[in-house]
Amino acid sequence: VTGFTGAGLDRADHLRQDPAALAAALGHPAARLLVLDGADPPAADRLAWGAMSLPAGSFPVLLGLQGGAPRFVAAGLLVAPGPPDWPRILSLPPAEMAIYAAARALVLWHARHRFCANCGQPTAPFRAGWGRCCPACAAEHFPRVDPVAIMLVEHTGPLGPRILLARQPRFPAGRYSVLAGFVEPGESVEEAVAREVMEEAGVAVTAVRYHSSQPWPFPANLMIACTAQAADDRLTLDRTELEDAFWADAAAVRAALAGAADAPFRAPPPHAIARDLLEWWVARQ
């Protein structure tokens, strides 16, 4: 299963704008509040759910219904998180990882969007925490989702099919991954893929196809995975973005995915859609 998907919650949008139904959900005997340590899970291995006692100064965000039982997270307390506690987060079962990720994204969005971007006045949560509205100018603000295109670029030549892998200076030693970049205003996903590959690697691509997607709410990304074909394998790297790049054949990718000691690179980690793309590709070779 793709990382951070499969929460299995009914998001129950119909409750968000129905004050009576929302009050009933808040008072439901099975309603529970997600326990957080700052913005992190309080412990490894599983999420914790507590009674509906909201901390002073917080408000409930309706995460959804789990088997009919309302699930909330408290937001509105000023949170200044450090980096995510990855060991705790990645120890959660996949469905709980997805629930946590949505909760974290909402809590941090509220913390960072307390004032109206239109008029500067304080805003107030509405829609059960899935938005904020401005009492002064009536502007409505919604949680951010920033689309990122992430692309498996394939070249087929005399050396057989190979894919483009690159590393950024901030990556762990030996780690290589596929290219990725933000989709910009006025651009389709396909256009963003072609632009990004040209900017970073100097390679023209065609046949851009959607593959799959993954929420990556750290803080607010949606990863949109695509495949694309390169006509030419000559690379011209943008050294401000990339430290190195190369074309990897199936044997190299298989060795890296297996964690082989003599693999030519270290593969992306299991919860990343980049790894899903590599696994999908080698399975077809």
Smallest separation, CB 139 to Zn ion (Å): 5
Smallest separation, CB 150 to Zn ion (Å): 35
Q: Helices (H) and strands (E) in the chain — how many of each?
A: 7, 13
Token code pair at residue 24? 């009933």
Q: Which is nearer to Zn ion, 119 or 258 (CB)?
A: 119
Q: Which is nearer to Zn ion, 116 or 228 (CB)?
A: 116
Give the integer Cα–Cα distance in Å for 54 and 33.
8
CB-based burial of residue 160 (10 Å sphere; 0-12 exposed, 13-18 middle, 19+ buried)?
exposed
| φ, ψ for residue 227, nearest 5 deg | -115, 155
Q: Which is nearer to Zn ion, 39 or 134 (CB)?
A: 134
Q: Which is nearer to Zn ion, 23 or 136 (CB)?
A: 136
Smallest separation, CB 135 to Zn ion (Å): 8
Which residues of this chain interact with Zn ion, rule CB under 5 A?
Answer: 116, 118-119, 134, 136-137, 139
Q: Which is nearer to Zn ion, 58 or 118 (CB)?
A: 118
Token code pair at residue 108? 């941090």
Distance of CA 21 to the CA centre of its chain: 30
Smallest separation, CB 113 to Zn ion (Å): 12
Q: Which is nearer to Zn ion, 101 or 134 (CB)?
A: 134
- How would you classify the pairing of strands 160-167 and 179-182? unpaired
Question: Which residues are within 8 A (CB) of 259 and not within 5 positions of it... i.e. 6 or more apart?
Answer: 267
Question: Which residues are within 8 A (CB) of 162 and not within 5 positions of it... i.e. 6 or more apart?
Answer: 154, 155, 156, 233, 247, 248, 249
Smallest separation, CB 130 to Zn ion (Å): 18
Smallest separation, CB 119 to Zn ion (Å): 3
Q: Is 92 within 8 Å of 109 (Cβ atoms)?
A: no
Smallest separation, CB 142 to Zn ion (Å): 14
Q: Which is nearer to Zn ion, 5 or 118 (CB)?
A: 118
Torsion, Cα 213 218 221 222, to 10 degrees, reads 20
